[in-house]
Amino acid sequence: MIHRIYIQADGEDAQADIARTLESVFPGHTISVPSAPERARRDARQWSCLELTDDLPWERVHGAAARLAAALPGRSAVALRIAGDSFRLALFRGDACVRELQYQEGDGWLVARGEVQPWEAAAFFDDDDFAGIGEDELRNELGESSAEHRAYTSRKVVEGAQRPCPPHIDRALAAALSLPSREPPSFRVGPVAPSVREASKVGGIALVVLAAVVLVSALLGLLVSSFE
């Protein structure tokens, strides 16, 4: 399973801005950032790729993309999760999620919410699908009232449709959005740093011990008062 967040980074010192924001979005996690020369080279790119190497739930990836887009004014962010031929995608502008899609292999399009994006037709629909087939044949093939028929006649993803079945979704999205898919990610976010994790454990144990001491003291106080 792959989790990535693509962040619009089309300005001077964009990489440095993203690096600073990541520290607040992922406190305690190990974060790998580009070197200064690499940041300078990539500042001219339209998008920067953040790869999440920790096994995070989709809700956390979704929330992180929203916070990054909100914290970097004027920039968009795309949260992407790929598992085989299945994927989830959320597009943010500012703190608003303007498009959310989920395609599950075998189940089709489970989610298609928000504004249809101009790049979707090229990313999800193959021009060779039903090429040369008339409207009557298309209705017979797909069923006039079916979600698939609405999808192919409008060339828009329809929630509940089984098709289109987008192959190689990472490459399709990379081509449609000009995402940097053929180079290493600019940033990587790994698990919580060991020192932070151990500190959390120690803090948790200290709280348990403190609570036990308070409870024992209270019980002793009740016993003493009962004998007075």
pLDDT tens for 89-107 read 999 988 799 999 999 988 9
The total of structural domains in the chain comes to 2
pLDDT tens for 142-186 read 665 578 878 877 888 889 888 887 767 777 777 777 766 555 666
Is the sign of the CA dihedral 220, 223, 225, 228 positive or negative? negative
Total residues found in the chain within this entry: 228
Find all residues with CB under 8 Å of 204, minimum gap 6, and list them: none
Mean pLDDT along residues 22-36: 74
Query: Does residue 135 sit in the same domain as residue 38?
Result: yes
Query: Does residue 188 sit in the same domain as residue 205?
Result: no
pLDDT of residue 134: 54
User: Counting beta carbons within 10 angstroms of the beta carbon of residue 24, is it exposed (0 to 12), middle (13 to 18) or buried (19 or more)?
Assistant: exposed
Query: Does residue 198 sit in the same domain as residue 136?
Result: no
Mean pLDDT along residues 23-30: 78
Q: What does pTM read for this prediction?
A: 0.72
Query: Does residue 38 sit in the same domain as residue 141?
Result: yes
Give the residue numbers spanning the domain of 208: 194-228
Q: Does residue 80 have a pLDDT over 80? A: yes
Query: Does residue 76 sit in the same domain as residue 14?
Result: yes
pLDDT of residue 185: 66
Query: Does residue 199 sit in the same domain as residue 188?
Result: no
